[in-house]
Amino acid sequence: MDELPRLLIAGHPWTFWLGWTWTLSSVVLTTWIILQRKSPVSTLAWIMVLNLMPVVGLVVYAYFGPQRIKRQRLKRWHKKAALMSKEDLSALRAEHTHAPLWAQQHAQLIDAACGLPMSSAQSVDILPSGGATLEALLHAIDGARGHIHLEYYIFEPDETGTRLLRALAAKARQGVKVRLLVDAIGSPKLLSRRHRARLNEYRDAGGEFAVFHPTRLDRLRPLVNLRTHRKIVVVDGRTGFVGGINVNDDGNEQVRPDRAYRDTHLLIRGGAVRWLQYVFLKDWHYAEGPPPAPDEDLLPAQAPGLVPVQIVTSGPDSDMEAIHRAMIDALNLARERVWLATPYFVPTESALTALTNAALRGVQVKLIVPEMSDSRIVTAAARSYFKELQDAGVLVFEYRGRMFHAKTLLVDQLYGMVGSANFDNRSFRLNFEVMAVVIERDFNQRLAAMFDDDLSQCKLVPAGRQSPPHQRLFEAVARLGSPLL
């Protein structure tokens, strides 16, 4: 009996067994991917990668493949915030400043998709740069009395980050509860041994700290996806910051005046901040941060504002893709203009269709992307869509001189959206993102003025622009991999 296996092995070359191993693993992995029930394009792309590159493809899938997680909803905080938001809406109706019907239906879609209803703000300020955002943030921190909550994808221990860390440590010494949550992949330098002293200074002062999806050897699959790409700050439950600006010198024109990223952030005061607070608390709780004290006043009562604001979140803990749906619905609502700014333009098929549909029905559609982003592959993939956009009537502009990082959407005369999500598959489906929708004419006009100012730094991409054959091939290949980017 012992001779039979040896005879079987001896009778076939090693390539025979390698072929059977490849075939069986291909069948198993292909079946597994199909059962994930993702979009057909993404599913087919992953099947091609795994079958054409059997070993390398498996490694790539382990790091970048679709993954799902489950998170607990903090029912107590959600219920309290929802009751307060209803009071805000009642006050808006009493002041005859409630959103029009189309906006109410849009808000209902967002609420159904992510569970965050329409609220209000007393004011919404647009912060046009990292330096301006840092100064506003330091001013708010200086006035904090109860707590300061921060969540960032990138928090660098450079000049900008050190200045902020020291301000947080100073408030912690005064007895203010300071909680800082950073992403493990986005903030590796802050977590490194080299910069441990700066983080320890903050902790020794009493500041609390947590890491979102830390890289650990005991994980079966590394979480390169599923990052918190959010940028949230909440001070005393009344003042909130949200947008695209991280904490680093790359976005701070005070440190790098000639090459700092061009970016946009919001400073919100009023009831809508409670939803930023709720989002932070969910992420903090999930990242196993120390729980707040039961008597801590995290959702303080405050007078309703006159600006309708709705916070929108999405992430791989939900299949609803709330930000993706909200953007597509906003594009479908457009009747006059759609002005979209994004550093990474790798749209889903439905998002691309909604954008070109708006242009085809006569809406003025303008798109700003960077002339050269910090990813050559993403830049190439974005350019592969230009002809299709231009054929539909979309005006495509490339921002010159420095990295363009703003993420804004402006629709007609009332609608504005600003936040952390790019117009790409990764933001729509793979990362945790947050946006703020503001339904107000004055805000829309200020956002439009900023967009016009950005256009002065752009060049219009000419229709029919010719590229060398090798560049066209690179763009086509990059587009083929766009569902995986």
Per residue, what are the HEC states of 397-414?
EEECCCCECCCEEEECCC
**What is the distance between the alpha carbons of residues 114 and 319, in angstroms, rounded to a whole number?**
10
Cβ atoms < 10 Å from Cβ of 257: 9
Which H or E element spans position 265?
strand 265-269
Query: What is residue 221's DSSP assignment?
Result: S
Contacts of 109 (CB under 8 A, 6+ apart): 325, 326, 329
**What is the distance between the alpha carbons of residues 221 and 145, in angstroms, rounded to a whole number?**
41
Q: Long-range CB contacts (< 8 A, 24+ apart) of 25-28?
A: 25/54, 25/58, 26/50, 26/51, 26/54
Q: Tell me if residue 229 is catalytic.
A: yes
**What is the distance between the alpha carbons of residues 64 and 56, in angstroms, rounded to a whole number?**
12
Question: According to the model, what pLDDT value does residue 483 have?
Answer: 58
**What is the distance between the alpha carbons of residues 223 and 225, in angstroms, rounded to a whole number?**
5
Question: According to the model, what pLDDT value does residue 220 have?
Answer: 46
Q: Tell me if residue 106 is catalytic.
A: no
Closest CA to 66 of 426, 478, 480: 426
Closest CA to 425 of 484, 339, 474, 354: 484
Q: Tell me if residue 149 is catalytic.
A: no
Edge-to-edge, what's the strand order for the sheet holding 395-399?
Answer: 119-121, 307-314, 433-439, 415-419, 408-411, 337-341, 364-370, 395-399, 458-460
Q: Catalytic one among 177, 405, 424, 454?
A: 405
Mapping DSSP onto H, E and C, the string for 183-198 reads ECCCCHHHHCHHHHHH
Question: pTM, whole model, 2 decimals?
Answer: 0.87
Q: Tell me if residue 297 is catalytic.
A: no
Q: Catalytic one among 177, 407, 424, 454?
A: 407
Question: According to the model, what pLDDT value does residue 184 have?
Answer: 93
Question: According to the model, what pLDDT value does residue 352 have?
Answer: 97
SS3 state at 235: strand
**What is the distance between the alpha carbons of residues 429 and 317, in angstroms, rounded to a whole number?**
10
Q: Tell me if residue 282 is catalytic.
A: no
SS3 state at 419: strand
Burial 19-56 (b: 16+ CB within 10 A, else e): eeeeeeeeeebeeebeeeebeeebbebbbebbbeebee
Q: Catalytic one among 236, 250, 263, 454?
A: 236
Q: Catalytic one among 231, 265, 324, 366?
A: 231
Mean pLDDT split into 10-residue runs, the chain, 485 residues: 50 62 68 64 64 58 60 85 87 73 94 96 97 98 98 97 97 98 95 92 97 68 75 98 98 95 97 97 92 89 92 93 98 98 95 98 98 84 92 97 96 98 93 97 98 97 83 73 59
For residue 227, which amino acid is it? R
Structure tokens at 348: 């889903």
**What is the distance between the alpha carbons of residues 86 and 323, in angstroms, rounded to a whole number?**
22
State the number of CA atoms in the 13 A half-sphere of 484 facing the CB: 21
Q: Which residues pair with 219 in a beta bridge?
A: none
Question: According to the model, what pLDDT value does residue 98 have?
Answer: 67
What's the CATH architecture for 75-96+121-303? 2-Layer Sandwich (3.30)
The CATH code of domain 322-484 reads 3.30.870.10
Q: Are 318 and 391 in contact (CB under 8 A)?
A: no
Q: Catalytic one among 229, 265, 324, 366?
A: 229
